[in-house]
């Protein structure tokens, strides 16, 4: 599986992450460590996000823990560049 990966480290519940894409649409997934492992291994997983057609997009962590972003073009043609930043907490 070919994807771009960002390790966000430990984040509190409700923390906002902003993902900026350049190029075409892409699948953007915010996953905790367990779900990232399942994603990589082709097992069922849950995530926040989905197909992103407009950039930037903001996603919120569902619980406190170690978080990751995975960006892929599965089922899509083209190229995409990306950047990710964790927004300051309130």
Model pLDDT for residues 46-81, shown as the tens digit of each residue? 999 999 999 999 999 999 999 999 999 987 888 899
Pairs from 49-53 (Cβ < 8 Å, separation ≥ 24):
51/25, 51/26, 51/27, 52/19, 52/21, 52/25, 52/26, 52/27, 52/28, 53/25
Digit-coded pLDDT (tens) for 19-34? 999 988 999 999 999 9
Residue 1 has pLDDT above 80, yes or no: no
pTM of the shown model: 0.93
pLDDT of residue 90: 63
Distance CA 17, CA 47 (A): 13
């Amino acid at each position: 599986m070919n994807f771009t990966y960002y390790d966000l480290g430990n984040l509190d519940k409700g923390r906002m992450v902003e993902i900026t894409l350049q190029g075409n649409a892409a699948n953007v997934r915010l996953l905790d460590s367990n779900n990232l492992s399942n994603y990589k291994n082709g097992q069922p997983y849950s995530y926040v996000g989905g197909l992103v057609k407009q950039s930037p997009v903001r996603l919120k962590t569902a619980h406190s823990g170690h978080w990751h972003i995975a960006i892929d073009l599965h089922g899509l043609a083209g190229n995409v560049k990306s950047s990710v930043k964790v927004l300051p907490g309130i």
